[in-house]
Amino acid sequence: MSAAAFVVREKDGSGRVTGVYSGGVQLANGHTSESRSLQPSSNKKRPRRTWNDFLSDVFLPEGYPATVSDGEYQIWNSLQAFCSSLASLFGSRAVLQAHGVGNASASATNAILLTVLQDVFSRLTTIVAGYYLGTSLSPEAKTYRLLADVLNDAAIVFDTLSPHLAALALSPAPPFVHASAHTTSRLRIAALCASGACRALCGAVAGGSKAALTVHFASAGARPGDVGDLNAKDGSKETVLALLGMLCGTVVVQYVHSARATYAVLAALIAAHLAFNVLAVRVIALHTLNRQRAGIAWKAFRASLDKDGTPHSSAPPAVPGPAVVSSAERIFADPTRLLGPARAHCTLGAPFHALFPPGGLSDAQIARVLAAFARDRYVLWPAPAGLGAVVALKEGHAARDHLRAWAHAHEVARRRAGRARLREVVAAREVVERSFGTFVEAARAAGWKVDEGALVGGSPVTMSVEVGEGAAVEDKKRV
């Protein structure tokens, strides 16, 4: 008689054992007799659920912390949300005062008109922000994540200033501001409209940047996480923190009434709010290459190569990882700036007329430039000002082409090829061709997602090029 036993261990999303079950099959004289006992084994009892487990299930995503990266970010993000909720109470109280609460001469009609005007500015700002900033939010997620909170603080400041501006009016004569007995001061109306615009811009910017960061947090952990679950649990945490901030704020606002005390407490809360946001953004190490991170990585990689692109030593050139690049990354920086000896800039995805402006090169010279880039999915030419380059993308371009064009622009700036000579541009491209494959492999080994680049947002203008005797003039310049 022999026995074939089994043991089943149940684990939750984070890998913790929640139950152990065992069973057996007895084999005797060719007959099978099955005996199962699907109960927790005697030596491994199912752990009892505690309040800590319950709160973890409610506020932490499934599989935490294995399915979430940058855990330190969550701490700073929680602290900044608490400060923001507490500071917003002062702004809410000021808005009520600006609308006439406590003022016998104020009317409900004026309050409604002010609310409608503020809402109009808010909605128009949302539309304009979506049009101008929509494609930039994901590539520059860290920048706009911090900018959203700066705009939110600006809205709170405008709200708190609005009741004090009711007694002031603009004047064409110095000092340009004088006392006014009207309750509908233009300065107060302007402050409330600016507050609504800043708050709407904050919502538009925060929504796009938060979506990009949520994908990063869910995909950069030890195991892939659920983006929807992570977003839902993050909303639950923000709700609880907002409630705590409101409860604490109800105690604080009862003892802070004067303008001096209000602005002192508000300044401290805003300073703490911005400090926590800076700390939160600084710990984020995104694994995608935007223009600034790609420039830092290429500059470090290029330092290990000779002028012609060959390595200094036998050791393969290395690319710094996301954590190292994040420490050198600036939160507010011009994304078009190239990291080189000169303060040069590069425009990716430019239209043809920006690549070769009228009055520059002749048709024959343009044809030679286009022929030189016949095998590439981009065309690069030094900027008219002599600092940097302009890049136009061809049909079928991909993230790898964006990265290669960005490295080519850095090499052009390194050579200071501002005199718009084709041989200098081609020589810079040869250096990139010689070392780009090594750069991509080293970047992938360092943890970068080179095929998910964020150098170009949205759908840039592309062009198809035909160069030859049989091509018509309009085909050469067809965009």
CA 126 – CA 203 distance, rounded (Å): 8
- Domain termination site, one of 282, 309, 330: 282
Domain identity same for 247 and 333:
no
- Do residues 33 and 26 lie in contact, with contact meaning Cβ atoms separated by under 8 Å? yes
Spell out the residues 6+ positions from residue 200 whose beta carbon is closer than 8 angstroms to its own: 121, 122, 123, 125, 126, 129
The pLDDT of residue 42 = 45
- Domain termination site, one of 282, 302, 332: 282
Does 385 map to a domain? yes
Does 53 map to a domain? no
Domain identity same for 218 and 367:
no
- Domain termination site, one of 282, 303, 320: 282
Domain identity same for 138 and 211:
yes
Place of tokens 């008109």: 113
Cα 420-423-429 angle, rounded to 5 deg:
95
Domain identity same for 412 and 371:
yes
| Nearest CA-CA partner of 281 in 191, 213, 365 | 213
- Do residues 428 and 411 lie in contact, with contact meaning Cβ atoms separated by under 8 Å? yes
Number of domains in the chain: 3
Beta strands 168-170 and 177-179 are: antiparallel
Gyration radius from the chain CA atoms:
30
Domain identity same for 304 and 256:
no
Does 341 map to a domain? yes
| Nearest CA-CA partner of 304 in 317, 320, 295, 321 | 317
The pLDDT of residue 473 = 44
Domain identity same for 404 and 269:
no
- Do residues 170 and 302 lie in contact, with contact meaning Cβ atoms separated by under 8 Å? no
What does the buried/exposed string (b/e) look like for 113-135 if buried means 16 or more CB atoms within 10 Å of the residue's CB?
ebeeebeebbeebbeebeeebee
Does 330 map to a domain? yes
Place of tokens 């104020």: 106
* pTM of the model as a whole: 0.79
- Do residues 390 and 354 lie in contact, with contact meaning Cβ atoms separated by under 8 Å? yes
Cα 205-146-402 angle, rounded to 5 deg:
70
CA 62 – CA 69 distance, rounded (Å): 13
Return the half-sphere exposure (C-beta side, CA atoms, 13 A cut-off) of residue 248.
14
The pLDDT of residue 478 = 38
The pLDDT of residue 68 = 57
Kindly state the tokens that stand for 93: 């109280």
Does 123 map to a domain? yes
Domain identity same for 452 and 304:
yes
Kindly state the tokens that stand for 147: 């900018």
Residue 141 to residues 146, 208, 210, 257, 442, Cα–Cα distance (Å): 9, 8, 7, 38, 24
- Do residues 165 and 188 lie in contact, with contact meaning Cβ atoms separated by under 8 Å? yes
Does 113 map to a domain? yes
Domain identity same for 334 and 390:
yes
Domain identity same for 241 and 309:
no
Count Cβ atoms below 10 Å from residue 16 Cβ, excluding itself.
Answer: 10
Domain identity same for 359 and 447:
yes
Does 425 map to a domain? yes
Which residues span the domain enclosing 30?
2-48
As beta bridge partners, residue 346 has: 389
As beta bridge partners, residue 20 has: 9
CA 163 – CA 95 distance, rounded (Å): 7
Kindly state the tokens that stand for 410: 């850095």
What does the buried/exposed string (b/e) look like for 383-415 if buried means 16 or more CB atoms within 10 Å of the residue's CB?
bbeebbbbbbbbeebebebbbbbbbbbbbbbbb
Does 346 map to a domain? yes
| Nearest CA-CA partner of 468 in 333, 374, 380 | 374
Domain identity same for 339 and 407:
yes
Tens-binned pLDDT, residue by residue, of the chain (479 aa): 445 567 787 776 556 676 677 666 555 555 555 555 555 544 445 556 666 665 556 556 555 555 455 567 888 888 888 888 888 888 888 777 766 665 555 566 777 888 888 889 999 999 998 888 887 888 888 999 999 999 999 999 998 888 877 766 666 666 666 666 555 577 888 888 999 999 999 999 988 888 888 888 777 665 666 777 777 777 788 788 888 888 888 888 888 888 788 888 889 999 999 999 999 999 888 889 999 999 999 999 988 888 777 777 777 788 999 999 999 999 988 888 888 766 788 889 889 888 888 777 888 989 999 999 999 999 999 887 667 889 999 998 888 999 999 999 999 888 775 556 888 899 999 999 989 999 999 999 998 988 887 888 777 888 888 876 555 444 433 33
Place of tokens 């880039």: 373
Domain identity same for 18 and 64:
no
- Do residues 439 and 406 lie in contact, with contact meaning Cβ atoms separated by under 8 Å? no
